[in-house]
Every structure is written in C-alpha cells, then in structure tokens.
C-alpha cells in the first residue's frame, strides 16, 4: 500500500508486545500491534515444520488471553472450511503468501447441524498486509495456491485461545466440531494428537 | 449470520406484512391433497399436490415452517416474483403463491412429469441405458434449456444455479428449467436495491457449474448462466464436469484458479464443433462467452448438420462437410458418427436410390450404437481408473459392454481399457478377436499397444493402422511396417527381434522417431543403457512430444547413474502425460537416489493419487519414509505394496529390514522366507536371514544362508565376516580365519571383520595378529558395543607379554 510504513519485528518481540497488553481492551490493542508490522522470517525458523500430508499447526506462545501459532503450508495445501468460534483472529505472513476464501452460511439448522455455504470473496494475504477474519462472515478456507509453487508460513493470533472449531462439509451440507492439535509446541515436534 | 432473536422479530414482521400483501393472502391449502415428495432443499420441500377443486396435479413448494431466517423467506418470495414474470414453454408456469393458515409460504406450479437431466446423464454413461436416452435427444433438450435461459435474460432475469438437477426432461420431449429460487434481475448489482438478499459480493450457485467470477464473489450477469450451459454441455459430451475436484470445495478452488477443461481434454472423441461451442461458453472472460441465444442457435445448427458460429472450420473440414451435403446423408446429428458417415456415403454411392439410403441409415445406426457403447465404456473406465477402482471393477464394465455386442469398435475400446489397467494379455486377446472376426484383420496389434501406452490412442491410431494395412496388402516393406513388426516382437517379449526390426526401419527411414524410441526400449531390456540413451535422444530430437522416449531415456540415465538428467527427463514425461503414475514413481525413485526423501515422498503421493493401488509407489513411499525415520508409516507402506503385488520380492525384503529394526525378528524372518521363496538367489536376503537365524541360535542354518549368499555374490564383506564368526563359534577357527581374511581384504576398516578375525586369531594363538586387529578395531569403532571387550582383551595381551 503506497505511503504506508511497515515495521519489521522478530516473533519473540511480537510475543513480548502482546504479553504486555492489558486484558481490558486487548482485542483493539492487539489489532494495533499486528497491523503495519512485518515479521522477520529468520525469527520464525524454529517453528518451520512442513509436512507433505497436511499443513502443520505449530504453537509459538499461549496464555489465557491469546494464542500465537505458525502454520506451515506446502504448495497446494489447504485448510478445511472452518470458523473460529467467535474469537478474533489475525493473520500475518512470515513466508510466501496465501489465499483466503470467505463463505456465508445459509439455512443453518442448529439441531440437525446442517447448513449451506456460499463463497463470498477471495483475498490474497501477503507479507505486507496482515488480515483479520471478518467477524460478520467468519467461515473461511485458507490455501497455498499450488501454481505459486512456493512454501508459505503464516502466523495466526487468536484471542482468546480455542482448541476446537467448527468444520463445514459443503459436499454433505453439514458441520461438526473438530478437536485441534499441534504439530509442534515451542519449536519441538510433539506426539500426534497433542 | 442472523441472531435468533432478531430473526424471530423480523419473521413476525414479515408475517404481519404478509397478511396485508395481496399476493400472499391466506389461502386454504386444505383444498390440496399432498402427495409424495418431489425434492427437498435447504429452504423447503417440493411435494406433489392434487387440487381437489380442479382435479389436477401440481407441484407444491413449501418453506419449512420453523425456518426463521428472513433471507430465506425473502428468497422464496423472490422466486414467486421471478416465476410470475416468466412465460416460456420451458419454464413451468406458476399457478399460485400464498400463505396458509399457519403462516407457511407456498408456491403452486405446474408439475413436470419426467426425470431430471442428471439422472438421464447417469444413464447415458451406463452401457445398458444407451438405447434409452440418445445423445441427440439430450442435445435437443439442452437447446431448449438454452432458449429458455435466453428468454429469461431477455426479460432481465438470470438463473444463477443452472445444473442438470434443475433441468427436467418431460415425457413428451419437453425440457423444463426448474428452481428459480436463486434467480435475480441482472440490473441488481447495487446492495441498496435489495439489502440482505443480494449484497455486493454474494455468489450463489453450484461449484462445477458456476463461472470464475461467481466463485470469486464478484457480481454476475447473463454470461454466468452461459458458463453453466457450457458446463452441462461438457458433462453431456464427456460424462465429466469441466472443473476437476472430488469435493465441492476443490471444484470451487479449481474454478477460481481458472482450471477449466474443454471437452476434448476429457474425451478425445468429442465432436470438434461441440467442443468449440462448450469451450466458448466456458471462457474465463465473461465478455468472451456467446449469449444464451447464440449458444442455443449453435446447438440447433449442429443438430441440423449446419455450420456453428462458435467453431472455426479448417479447409479439410469444409471439404468433408461439402461432400456429405452432396451425398444427402443426414448423419451429422452427431459428430461421433464421422466414421459412420464415411461408410454410409460409400454405400450410398454404390447403390443409389432409396434402398441404398435405408441400408446406409441402418448401417449407420448400428455402427453408431456400437461406437456409442465403446465411448461409454471408455468414459466409465476413465472414471473408475481415475478413482483408483480395482481392475476387476473396470474389467466388469468391459464384460458388460462386450455382452452388448462384440463389434469391432467395442472390441477396440475394450482392448484400450484393458491396456490402461495393465491387462495386456486380455487386450491382445480382444484385438486378436477383432482381427479374426472383422477381416481383413488388424495384425498390427503391437502398434495399437504402442500407441495406447503412449497416450496416443484415438483417431490417430485408426489412421496409422489403416496405412499399415494398405502397405502390408501391397507387399511394401517400408520403415513403418518394419517398425510395426518390431513393436509386435516387443509385445511378445522378443526384444532381440524388436531391436533388429527397429534397426531395419531406421535404415529405411532414419527420421522415424518411433523406431528410435522402440530400439531404445529394446536396448533397455537387453541391458544396454548407453545405447538406449543414445537412441532415445535421437527420438526426442525428432519428436520431442513422445513421453515414452523421455521415460526410456530417464530409465537409461537412472541405470547409468545420471540421476539428475533422469529427473529432468521425468519432468518432461510428467509435463506431457501428467496422469502417468509410473512417471511420478520413477521420479520419486530418482529423488531417493539423490537422497531427497521429502520430494520423493511427494511424487509417490501423487502417483498414489492417480493410482491408489500402485505397488511401486507404495514401495517407494516405504523407502522414503524409512529414510525419514517414519518407520511405522514405512511399515504400512510396504504392507500396502505387498498387498498390491504379493510377488514383489523387494517389498518383502524391505519390510523384513524394517520389522527387524522395529524389534520384530519373527516377522522379519517370515518376510525373508517369502522373499527367498520368490527370489531364491537374493544374496542380500540370504545374508539378512542368516543374521536372523544366528540371533535365534540356529548357527548351522545361518552358515548355510551365508554360504549360499557368498556363492551368489563373493563381494559381501559382512557375509564373510559373519560366517567366519559362526564357524568360530562352531569350533572351526581355521575356517573362521579364512573367512575373516576375505572380509578384511574386502573391507579393511570394517569393525566387525576386524573384531571377528581377532577372535579367530586368539583361538589359533596368533597373539600379534589378534592384537593388531583389536587395536585397529578400537581405533575405527571406539564406541562399538564390543569395544569394551576388545580393550579388555588388549590389556590381557599386553600383560601376558
């Protein structure tokens, strides 16, 4: 974006800044911390774990207020269609770029747990443009476009932390709760299911 | 999403407003007798309703009574408004819209007796149903649909969810476009015009039929419907959507990426004119698509045998068209009858008069049926092979098609399917049957095999075969005939004869790339990778599009240790023929050679995506995973490889090694027994089994295995060392020393060889020799488990001195 000043910072510095924020007004303050910042790629090296099977979720930091994750994507990998349980989410790119597809939910039936999804927008997430999940349409899918041919690492800030999310299956028109797990925590690979 | 409280309040407001709305005045639905359901969607249900007052059946669409989302209600109302505006023979008329006493909205419309196009398309793909639903009928129905859509566009309405499920084919040949629930006026881009219902960026539709602009959430206009018509046409012609993807999300992503195939990409025998029409409708740029009216007009033109606006005709095509018009044959209803048309034209010229015309029409109909069945068979096989279905399922389709009639075309198609499922013998039998039953016979089976395995089977095959037939009949010994003889020899496994015949072909015509490629393949089989690489290179200089030549050169280079060159060649194979699991597997093997198991794993996974039962890919995957220390997954991969090919001795041996490392010596031993049952001369397996036997205390058995291994391969240092150790334990230090001497000579720094020889020398009281070996042992392997013992022995030797 022309004229905008971007500040590079290491991931540890980002953690420290976020840790200092008070609980009250955390969401607004965290947004200010994230926007306009570019992450130093070298500082993310301890959290780079790529898998050929699926993108990986790597825990950087977690406390009661927020959770910071590094997600590593091989070309062609994508998330399921999911939401964030009403939590705030920001994404910053450490390496490469990603594409975010937003969906709107129609005809949601809380009892039968059925719904219908309609795609609403496609947004490219780049290193100089942090992205917030749209609170009005929080259902989305993220992917590393195969044709781009490069790996991607995205840093996700969630407030507050959550360990399950709703995953949507457009083919069958249903949604369900899914337990989330980490590929690594604090730079160390962990056992499956953790 | 709408909060429940707000939605309930909004619903109440709507219901109150509805009471004042004359269009939805309360109505006694009691007059309607509800029958079985016709369909169900997210919003509501469609049921058969009999109007007792008028005695007619209608379709009643009702909204679910407990739905509180006002957007849904507004969309329902919108459908009523849209349908009320549309009056067209291919759009069911709306009889009535209303609200019943419970406040439930409903639409009453004409009930269309018939079946959805989706069902008809499914049957079109099934051989048994080919007669029931003819392609021209479906194309005619699609033209009617396009005309209805053009009419809707003319009055400012776009459908936005055209798909075969929303097209009903009636009993009397009528086609009806249903479900206008997502339709809107195409001047409604601004969000202010219809807040909450048609916001900017909203996209509605079905992935696979929706265009890229719709998938991206951009505003859409009439071209979006034309794209859907193109997608339906593609499905009609090929049995496949133009957008690849097993799930709705993947089809959506492919659409966003613009990965839109044209029919001929999916099925080579698609009529070129219809291919052009579908491709035009599927253009990424909405402005480049024809209008729905133009689309309909082109379909009609095709059915009449007239030129299409969407197709550019080459000179040859114009000549053929002109000739056919002069022949008066109206056999252009389908371009798939091109061959038939030629045969019929010959008949007509020979006999003239009406009888000839009738005979020609009968022949044409028969041949068209046969060809249609063959096409269906191939299309079904495509689906099954792509889904990784077991060969027996694919061959089940072959049998079903053959039961319909063993015509020449069906036999060819069946043989093609057999080739794709690696049933070469069966393919050969089918082609031989074709030769025997349909003189003059197609003796050039090898050529067909070659073409099919090169991904080149299709119309070109016919041309080549006919040219060969003519040459043979005329007694010509030209390069191509020699080449065909060579291929036939190769198919029979006589690679020496294949090499000779290819050489003869090249003497006659050194520019025949296929002959160079054939000789490269023969030389690979004859153990001459240098010659194979040179021949494949010549082939590629002449015809760089030959995937088999790239593959052969890659194989040659792998054998010559030129792995990076092999990878480059395999990149080309994959570029030219991206659906070959063998190419991905070979490249994976090359990456393993290059010690890059991660990339190897990616290639094996791609191969397995294409062919889930590919034994080589599973085996390679196991090797790569083992290299990455992911042993449990590697074990599973080797097990899958063994399940896919129980005769693969390498897979058994690899699993044995892994089981041994995972602490399962009994399992390892079983696998080694199977390895050696399959390949008794596998020295490595014998050596491993010897170790397993020795660990289990069976020294005699171990010695027997190692002895056999050394008879096969005398350069196995570990084997000499192990046998020496066993012989020492069995009380024969002299024989042990002889073995250990061989081991040390082969591998002077092998710790085991040094240690074992030291023990033999100690037994023979050659103390200086033993000391020298022990000193060397602790020097090269200071952390070896036996190092402490060696040091203690050295200390004793020094003290004894």
Rg over CA atoms, chain B: 36
Q: Which two tokens stand for residue B3?
A: 């909060």
Q: Which of A106-115, A146-155, B511-520, B753-762 has the lowest mean pLDDT?
A: A106-115
> What's the rounded Cα separation, in Å, for the pair B376 and B410?
10
Q: Does A133 touch chain B (CB under 8 A)?
A: no
B1 and A108 in contact by Cβ < 8 A? yes
- Does the pLDDT of residue A80 top 90, yes or no? no
Q: Kindly list the averaged pLDDT for each block of 10 residues, start to end, along chain B of length 801.
A: 52 60 53 71 71 76 67 76 84 81 78 82 55 67 93 91 88 81 69 35 67 87 96 90 81 88 84 92 94 93 83 65 41 29 32 48 56 59 63 78 69 70 67 53 41 41 50 62 74 86 88 86 94 93 77 92 91 76 89 92 88 88 93 92 90 92 87 92 92 86 93 93 92 94 93 94 93 93 90 88 62
- Considering only CB atoms, A122 lies closest to which of B67, B256, B602, namely B256
Determine, yes or no, domain membership for A2: no
Q: Of the residues B21, B100, B140, B161, which is catalytic?
A: B161
Domain membership of residue A29 (yes or no) is yes
- Residue A160 is classified by DSSP as S
The verdict on residue A165 lying in a domain is: yes
User: Domain for residue A25, yes or no?
Assistant: yes
How much is the ipTM here?
0.73
Question: What are the CA-CA distances from residue A97 to residues A73, B23, B195, B665 (Å)?
Answer: 10, 52, 34, 48
CA B207 to chain centre: 20
The residue of chain A with its CA nearest to that of B250 is A78
Candidates B69, B217, B257; nearest CB to A119: B217
Query: Within a domain: residue A181?
Result: yes
d(CA B672, CA B669): 5
A15 within some domain: yes
| DSSP state for residue B612 in the 8-state scheme | T
| Residue A37 pLDDT > 60 | yes
CATH number at residue A107: 2.60.120.10
CA dihedral B508→B510→B513→B517, nearest 10 degrees, is 90
Report the alpha-carbon distance of residue B360 to residue B219 in Å, rounded. Answer: 52
H/E segment holding residue B430: helix B424-437
Q: Taking CA atoms, what residue in B is nearest to A123?
A: B216
Tokens of A104: 């709107």
CB-facing half-sphere around the CA of A22: CA atoms within 13 A = 2
Pairing of strands A56-62, A67-73: antiparallel
Of A114, A119, A121, the CB nearest to B252: A119
**CB within 8 Å of B84: residues ≥ 6 apart:** B94, B97
Query: Which range of residues forms the domain containing residue A149?
Result: 7-189
Question: Is A17 within the bounds of a domain?
Answer: yes
pLDDT of residue B124: 66
Give the pLDDT band of residue A6 (cuts 50, 70, 90). Answer: low
Cβ distance of A118 and B72 shorter than 8 Å: no
* Half-sphere exposure (Cβ direction) of B369: Cα atoms closer than 13 Å: 16
* Contact check, Cβ <8 Å, A52/B598: yes
Chain A nearest-CA distance from B240, in A, is 17
Question: Does A147 contact chain B (CB < 8 Å)?
Answer: yes
Q: Which domains occur in chain B, in start order?
A: 4-111 (3.30.200.20), 115-190+200-312 (1.10.510.10), 716-801 (1.25.40.10)
Q: Is B161 assigned a catalytic role? A: yes
What are the residues of chain B with a beta carbon less than 8 Å away from any beta carbon of chain A? Answer: 1, 42-43, 67, 69, 71-72, 201-204, 207, 215-217, 247-249, 252-253, 256-257, 598, 601-602, 605
Tell me the per-residue pLDDT of A51-65, one tens digit each, with 9 for 90 and over: 877 889 999 999 988
In a domain, A21, yes or no: yes
What confidence score (pLDDT) does residue B195 get? 36
Cα radius of gyration (chain A):
16
Q: Count chain A–chain B contacts defined by CB atoms under 8 A.
A: 61
Tally of domains within chain A: 1
Chain B hits for A102, Cβ within 8 Å: 217
């Amino acid at each position: 974006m022309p004229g905008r000043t971007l500040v590079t910072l290491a991931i540890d510095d980002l953690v420290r800044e976020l840790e200092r924020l008070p609980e009250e007004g955390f969401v607004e303050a965290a947004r200010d911390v994230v926007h306009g910042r570019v992450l130093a790629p070298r500082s993310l090296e301890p959290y780079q774990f790529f898998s050929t099977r699926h993108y990986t979720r790597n825990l950087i930091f977690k406390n009661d207020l927020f959770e910071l994750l590094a997600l590593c994507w091989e070309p062609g990998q994508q998330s399921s269609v999911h939401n964030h349980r009403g939590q705030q989410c920001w994404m910053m790119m450490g390496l490469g770029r990603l594409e975010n597809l937003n969906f709107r939910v129609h005809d949601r039936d809380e009892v039968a747990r059925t719904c219908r999804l309609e795609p609403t927008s496609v947004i490219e997430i780049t290193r100089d443009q942090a992205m917030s999940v749209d609170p009005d349409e929080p259902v989305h899918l993220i992917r590393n476009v195969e044709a781009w041919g490069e790996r991607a690492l995205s840093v996700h800030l969630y407030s507050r932390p959550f360990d399950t999310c709703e995953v949507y299956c457009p083919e069958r028109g249903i949604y369900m709760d899914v337990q989330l797990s980490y590929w690594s925590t604090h730079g160390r690979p962990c056992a499956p299911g953790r | 999403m709408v909060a429940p409280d707000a939605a309930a309040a909004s619903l109440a407001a709507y219901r109150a407003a509805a009471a004042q709305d004359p269009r939805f005045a309360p109505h006694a639905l009691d007059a309607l007798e509800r029958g079985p359901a016709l369909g169900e969607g997210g919003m509501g249900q469609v049921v058969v309703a009999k109007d007792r007052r008028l005695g007619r059946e209608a379709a009643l669409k009702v909204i679910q009574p407990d739905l509180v989302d006002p957007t849904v209600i507004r969309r329902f109302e919108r459908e009523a408004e849209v349908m009320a505006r549309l009056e067209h023979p291919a759009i069911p008329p709306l009889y009535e819209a209303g609200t019943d006493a419970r406040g439930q909205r409903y639409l009453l419309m004409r009930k269309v007796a018939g079946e959805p196009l989706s069902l008809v398309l499914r049957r079109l793909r099934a051989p048994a149903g080919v007669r029931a639903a003819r392609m021209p009928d479906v194309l005619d129905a699609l033209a009617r649909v396009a005309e209805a859509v053009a009419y809707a566009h003319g009055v400012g309405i776009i459908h936005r969810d055209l798909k075969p499920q929303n097209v009903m084919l009636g009993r009397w040949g009528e086609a009806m476009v249903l479900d206008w629930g997502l339709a809107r006026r195409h001047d409604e881009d601004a969000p202010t015009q219809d807040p909450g219902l048609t916001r900017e960026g909203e996209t509605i539709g079905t992935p696979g039929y929706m265009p890229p602009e719709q998938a991206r959430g951009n505003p859409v206009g009439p071209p979006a419907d034309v794209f859907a018509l193109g997608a339906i046409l593609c499905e009609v012609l090929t049995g496949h959507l133009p957008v690849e993807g097993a799930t709705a999300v993947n089809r959506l992503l492919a659409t966003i990426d613009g990965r839109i195939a044209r029919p001929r990409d999916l099925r080579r025998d698609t009529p070129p004119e219809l291919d052009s029409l579908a491709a035009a409708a599927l253009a990424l740029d909405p402005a480049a698509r024809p209008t729905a009216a133009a689309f309909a007009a082109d379909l009609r033109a095709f059915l009449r045998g007239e030129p299409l606006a969407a197709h550019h005709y080459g000179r040859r095509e114009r000549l053929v068209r002109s000739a056919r018009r002069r022949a008066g044959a109206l056999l252009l209803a389908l371009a798939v009858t091109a061959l038939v048309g030629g045969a019929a034209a010959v008949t007509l010229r020979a006999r003239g008069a009406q009888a000839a015309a009738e005979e020609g029409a009968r022949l044409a109909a028969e041949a068209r049926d046969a060809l249609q069945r063959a096409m269906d068979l191939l299309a079904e096989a495509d689906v099954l092979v792509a889904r990784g279905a077991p060969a027996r399922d694919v061959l089940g389709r072959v049998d079903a098609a053959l039961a319909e009639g063993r015509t020449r075309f069906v036999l060819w198609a069946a043989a093609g399917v057999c080739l794709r499922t690696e049933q070469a013998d069966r393919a050969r039998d089918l082609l031989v049957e074709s030769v025997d039953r349909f003189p003059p016979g197609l003796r050039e089976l090898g050529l067909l095999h070659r073409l099919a395995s090169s991904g080149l089977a299709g119309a070109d095959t016919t041309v080549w075969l006919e040219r060969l037939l003519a040459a043979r009949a005329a007694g010509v010994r030209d390069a191509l005939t020699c080449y065909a003889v060579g291929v036939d020899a190769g198919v029979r496994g006589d690679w020496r004869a294949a090499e000779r015949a290819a050489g003869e072909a090249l003497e006659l015509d050194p520019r025949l790339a296929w002959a160079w490629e054939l000789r490269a393949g023969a030389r690979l089989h004859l153990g001459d990778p240098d010659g194979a690489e040179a021949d494949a290179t010549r082939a590629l200089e002449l015809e760089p599009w030959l995937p088999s030549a790239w593959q052969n050169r890659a194989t040659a280079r792998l054998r010559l240790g030129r792995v990076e060159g092999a990878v480059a060649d395999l990149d080309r194979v994959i570029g030219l023929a991206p659906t070959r699991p063998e190419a991905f597997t070979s490249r994976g093997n090359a990456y393993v050679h290059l010690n890059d198991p991660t990339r190897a794993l990616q290639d094996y996974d791609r191969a397995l995506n294409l062919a889930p039962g590919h034994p080589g890919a599973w085996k390679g995957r196991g090797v790569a995973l083992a290299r990455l220390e992911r042993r449990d997954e590697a074990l599973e991969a080797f097990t899958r490889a063994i399940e896919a090919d129980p005769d693969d001795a390498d897979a058994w041996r690899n699993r044995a090694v892994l089981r041994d490392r995972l602490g399962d010596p009994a399992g390892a031993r079983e696998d080694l027994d199977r390895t050696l049952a399959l390949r008794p001369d596998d020295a490595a397996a014998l050596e491993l089994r010897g170790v397993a036997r020795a660990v289990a205390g069976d020294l005699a058995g171990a010695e027997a295995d190692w002895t056999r291994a050394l008879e096969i391969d005398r350069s196995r240092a570990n084997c000499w060392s192990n046998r020496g150790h066993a012989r020492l334990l069995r009380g024969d230090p002299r024989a042990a020393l002889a073995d250990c001497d061989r081991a040390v000579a082969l591998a002077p720094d092998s710790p085991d060889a040094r240690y074992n020889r030291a023990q033999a020398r100690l037994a023979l009281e050659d103390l200086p020799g033993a000391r020298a070996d022990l000193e060397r042992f602790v020097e090269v392997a200071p952390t070896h488990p036996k190092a402490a013992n060696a040091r203690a022995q050295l200390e004793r030797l020094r003290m004894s001195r």
